[in-house]
Amino acid sequence: MSTRVISRIVLWSVCSLIALMWVYAFIFAPRESVNKIKDEAWAQRAQAHCMKAEDIRFALEDLTEMNPNDSLALKQKAKIVEKATDSLEDAINLIANDQPSDEKGKAIVPLWIAEYRLYIKDRRLFAQALMTSLTRPYFAETEVEGVPVSERLGKFARENKMKACQPPLDLSV
């Protein structure tokens, strides 16, 4: 057998294996999300807690233009951030006291809550920085496995139909 025939056989085999991999990926591979839990009633209860916290945050919303170099305005913003974070923490505490009934939920919800507590800690650090800064600091959040914690929290919330439980974007502006 010539080298040309052998290389054609090898190339054809590699291409066939790649095609089979894609057939498996699109037709036979399981579609279940890593974050999706089966206890939908728990997700609805969590969503209700988060909606109450969201309503509180919306009531605190102050859309007036803020001078980033005005230390009094920064202190006022810090107080709003603290109250908003309190509402978020209250919701997470209520959610933490209500565990899902399915095994997967029992395994991953505590991890989500622990990461949410990291996010809340980051918000509190930002509020402290606002209180003591002369110019507006930037909100720096913790990364988990190279991903901002808010992205991980948001993905879990979206995949379990808990839109109000996504981390608020009130510190990004």
- Give tens-digit pLDDT for 35-59: 899 999 999 999 999 999 999 999 9
Q: Which residue has the higher pLDDT, 34 or 13?
A: 13
- H helices of the chain, where? 3-23, 40-60, 71-96, 103-132, 149-159
- For 43, half-sphere exposure in the C-beta direction (CA atoms, 13 angstrom radius) is 18
The torsion angle over the Cα atoms of residues 147, 151, 157 and 159, rounded to 10 degrees, is: -80
State how far the Cα of 9 lies from the Cα of 13, in Å rounded to an integer. 6
Calpha distance 8→147 (Å, rounded): 43
In a 3-state reduction of DSSP, which class is residue 31? coil
- Each domain of the chain, given as residue ranges in start order, spans 1-31, 40-165
Show the CA angle centred on residue 166, arms to residues 163 and 167, nearest 5°. 155
Taking the CA atoms of residue 117, residue 121, residue 127 and residue 132 in that order, the dihedral angle to the nearest 10 degrees is 170
| pLDDT tens sequence across 149-173 | 999 999 999 999 999 999 998 876 4
Chain-centroid distance of CA 111 in Å reads 12
**Per-residue confidence (pLDDT) for residue 157, from 0 to 100:** 97
pLDDT on residue 65: 85
Q: What is the pLDDT of residues 101-151, one digit of tens each?
A: 999 999 999 999 999 999 999 999 999 999 998 888 988 899 999 999 999
Residues in the chain: 173
What is the distance between the alpha carbons of residues 153 and 155, in angstroms, rounded to a whole number? 6
